[in-house]
Structure 1
Amino acid sequence: MKRILLAGALDAASQNFVRQLSQNSQLDLTVYTSSAVSLPESVMALTEEVLDEGGLSAAMLDQDLVVALVPTIRLAKMASTLATAVQAAGNPQLIISRTDDIEELPLEERHARQTLAAAGVAFDIVDGFGGISSLLGVSTTSATVFGPGEEVPLERFAG
């Protein structure tokens, strides 16, 4: 069983993604978020501030993989926190997923990559839930999971 920590703010799409992942019997999920959310009973929920290095490090202990949901504007700042926490937790694999589709801030991603590489952290930066699912090697219901830049069919909003 793969132990995964999902860290970051959770919106409705993120919560749906967590619900879908929780149905995979090969995954043991823990969510670390400051968001007030409702999660499946099989998911361990830790409500803490994501920028708290100590709390984040503790949450990463014994995890095989850490998935950080980060808006582009906070990539560089969050990279430093993630690098410190990952090192303190024994270097679990890190996936960072941008939670928006802002392309106008390439320096944020470049600085984040430089910070993580300099710290010796094994990481991938992806866009959206499809990128996370692909790296996890799991499938989710693509009709109900939408990430940055992904189009939502109009019938999704039909009443």
Structure 2
Amino acid sequence: MIKRKEVMILKRVLIIGALDTAAQRYVDDLSHNQQFQLTVYTPSRVRLAESIQALTEEVLDEGGLTAAMLDQDVVVALVPTIRLTAMVKTLVTAANATGTRSLMISRTDDIDDLPGEIRMARQQLAQAQLHYDFITGLGGIGTLLGSTPVPSEVIPFDPLTGQQAG
């Protein structure tokens, strides 16, 4: 009998942008998925799991962002709507320099008062001929990555007794 060695597919994922508490928790939860190798490129000084490579840089720095995008399989940008056009311009420049063909852009707010920002960002991406996904919030990132992050600890409760199950 021949034993098959199971090969785990590892995706190198670059997450770009400022991390608020919710995004930091999301990235930490995502780090528990063994199929991802995470790099975070952020201007925020945050505590992340040891398994995550953290780069503290300004996200609009084209040179730094280009270096961070090298050899990444997936690029996820967390961007507030008000900075969308400027960030997409920087992302397109870095993507062209590194050969990255696909971007995931998650708006970190639900501001609808700036339709021009969204329209201009989409136009920039269309002209760059990149595949892109626009997402509002963190929820769709896991779906597009092919894996929803799992919280590090889940304590089930019995709904009838209200006590911890087990």
Q: TM-score, normalised by structure 1?
A: 0.86
Show structure 1 runs of 5+ residues with no match: 143-159
**Residues 32 and 149, structure 2, Cα contact 8 Å, conserved in 1:** no
The equivalent residue for 1:67 is 76
Greater Rg by CA: 2
What's the offset of the Cα at 1:23? 0.1
Which of 7, 26, 44 is matched with 2:16 structurally?
Answer: 7
Q: What is the rounded CA distance, in whole Å, between the counterparts of 1:139 and 1:109 in structure 2?
A: 26
Q: Secondary structure at the match of 1:102?
A: coil
What's the offset of the Cα at 1:140? 2.7
Listed as ranges, the matches of 1:48-87 within 5 Å are 48-87=57-96
Listed as ranges, the matches of 1:23-42 within 5 Å are 23-42=32-51
Q: What is the rounded CA distance, in whole Å, between the counterparts of 1:2 and 1:69 in structure 2?
A: 18
Listed as ranges, the matches of 1:126-141 within 5 Å are 126-141=135-150
The equivalent residue for 2:159 is none
Q: Aligned partner of 2:59: which letter?
A: V
What's the offset of the Cα at 1:141? 4.7
What's the offset of the Cα at 1:92? 4.3
Q: Aligned partner of 1:38: which letter?
A: R
**Residues 91 and 122, structure 1, Cα contact 8 Å, conserved in 2:** no
Q: What is the rounded CA distance, in whole Å, between the counterparts of 1:77 and 1:25 in structure 2?
A: 33
The equivalent residue for 1:121 is 130
Q: TM-score, normalised by structure 2?
A: 0.83
Residue 104, structure 1, aligned to residue 113, structure 2: yes
Q: What is the rounded CA distance, in whole Å, between the counterparts of 1:75 and 1:102 in structure 2?
A: 11
Q: Aligned partner of 1:33: which letter?
A: T
Counting matched residue pairs gives 142
Q: What is the rounded CA distance, in whole Å, between the counterparts of 2:27 and 2:59 in structure 1?
A: 17
Q: Aligned partner of 2:119: which letter?
A: R
**Percent identity between the aligned chains?**
61
Residue 17, structure 1, aligned to residue 26, structure 2: yes
Q: Aligned partner of 2:16: which letter?
A: A
Q: Which has the higher helix share?
A: 1
Show structure 2 runs of 5+ residues with no match: 1-9, 152-166
Q: Secondary structure at the match of 2:103?
A: strand
**Deviating more after overlay: 70-79 vs 131-140:** 131-140
Q: Aligned partner of 2:148: which letter?
A: S
Flag as ranges the 4+ runs of structure 1 deviating above 2 A. Answer: none
Q: What is the rounded CA distance, in whole Å, between the counterparts of 2:145 and 2:104 in structure 1?
A: 9
Q: CA RMSD in A?
A: 1.1
The equivalent residue for 1:157 is none
**Residues 63 and 92, structure 1, Cα contact 8 Å, conserved in 2:** no
Q: What is the rounded CA distance, in whole Å, between the counterparts of 1:79 and 1:109 in structure 2?
A: 10
